[in-house]
Amino acid sequence: MKILVINSGSSSLKFQVIDSDSEQVLARGVCERIGIDGVFTYKTGTGISRKEPVSMKDHTEAVHVLLDRLVDPEEGVLEDYSQIDVVGHRLVHGGEKFTGSVVITKEVIDAMKECNDLAPLHNPANLVGVDACRRLMPDTLMVGVFDTAFNQTMEPKAFLYGIPYRYYEKYKVRRYGFHGISHKYVSQRAAEFLNQDIRHVKTIVCHLGNGASICAVKYGQVVDNSMGFTPLEGLVMGTRSGDVDPGVLEFLAKKEHLDFGQLMKILNQESGVLGISKNLSSDFRELKDAQIKYNDKASLARDIFAYKVAKYIGSFTAAMNGVDNIVFTAGVGENDSDMREEICEYLGFLGIRIDEVKNRGQAEAVRISTRDSRVNVLVIRTNEELEIAREAAAVCREYREGLSGSGKAS
């Protein structure tokens, strides 16, 4: 099956064409600066690589541009659009309604619009991508893969806040958790890599990128996630604060005469390691370079990040009453061996020991703990697009079987 994976943001649209049988990427690219000047990046498995200015006034034009290139006689990887069996869309927020991937119907779109309040930056942008694809490929099956779905197995004791219950009843104020597509892929890949049955293992996935979250996965199901009602809660991140006492907000509002919009901007865009390092950088590489040159705020920012990750690993170990695997993934998790080492130094009480040589290596998946470590510590490259393609292929197969009368229609 050939799957077109779409990740649509407000001014950019990332895409991949994946052959679900071989799991090979046939082509990938990004339409950036949509509605501004337009930049199109395109690469194929056969070695074509382009980055060029292409005008794209909206997302429909962007999808047009990428489809045209995919069927281009010189540079394309398909003969016709109709070779695409299914489009898998990354959808950020499905609220409580979606516990798995679904065929996108009008009901699904309406339900997603109801969640717009919960993810005002992401959901509308995702839906624009869906709409653009439906216009240009009206006969192709569209599947929605939610970032929140994998986290839906959390129990009320993990997802409810200590505020009046009526706010959950009235508005569904609760922890949703994010990065579900990555946490699912990585926890499963870890079990596969270690030859384990996922139904018998307890895994903590540390997705450490610009946005960062930690997820406790017990026997294949999410028990807890550090992100909450929005992706602002939890770890200190590139520019996001993570956990903050709400009392700080009232205090700052009064002292600095700030309204809620201004406070949220500070917490989302001016905080995290950027804010702690006195605006030096939100990029962990730049902070490491500054740390080497004895910049004490860069060191402090990295130390706070490591400490917070270790604290969450400790609490999620308690939540699962143990842990078998700890996995690092995403930009920082995959590449920053010093950060991994610093985090693991806190975890000696779990019997964790790191092999310094393996920790410095690079691979798609590697175990960096020593043989006598009581917990497996791994580094795994996340692959959200492949996970979306797998989900889309599975939903498509079920849908087709349903159509052919096997009774498994969704």
CB 157 within 8 A of CB 145: no
CB of 5 to ligand ADP, least distance (A): 15
C-beta of 76 vs 211, nearer to ligand ADP:
211
The 3-state DSSP class for residue 90 equals strand
CB of 354 to ligand ADP, least distance (A): 17
Q: Nearest CA to 384 among 94, 205, 186, 195?
A: 186
CB 359 within 8 A of CB 342: no
CB of 138 to ligand ADP, least distance (A): 32
C-beta of 7 vs 317, nearer to ligand ADP:
7
CB of 309 to ligand ADP, least distance (A): 14
The 3-state DSSP class for residue 167 equals helix
C-beta of 243 vs 286, nearer to ligand ADP:
286
Structure tokens at 269: 């865009």
| Whole-angstrom distance, CA of residue 233 vs CA of residue 265 | 14
Measured from each CB, the residue nearest to ligand ADP is 331
Q: Which residues bind ligand ADP (CB under 6 A)?
A: 209-211, 238, 283-285, 330-332, 335-336
CB 67 within 8 A of CB 135: no
**Is 245 known to be catalytic?**
no
CB 56 within 8 A of CB 65: yes
CB 300 within 8 A of CB 307: no
C-beta of 131 vs 283, nearer to ligand ADP:
283
Q: Nearest CA to 210 among 332, 75, 298?
A: 332
C-beta of 211 vs 242, nearer to ligand ADP:
211
C-beta of 140 vs 335, nearer to ligand ADP:
335
Q: What is the DSSP letter of 211?
A: S
Tokens 């779905």 belong to residue? 149
User: Going edge to edge, which strands form the sheet with 2-8?
Assistant: 49-53, 39-44, 24-32, 13-19, 2-8, 86-91, 141-146, 102-103
Instruction: Report the amino acid identity of residue 3.
Output: I
CB of 203 to ligand ADP, least distance (A): 19
CB of 210 to ligand ADP, least distance (A): 3
How far is the CA of 72 from the CAs of 25, 55, 65, 355, 366, in angstroms?
Answer: 17, 18, 10, 48, 38
**37, 58, 72, 147: which one is catalytic?**
147
The residues annotated with a catalytic role in the active site are: 147
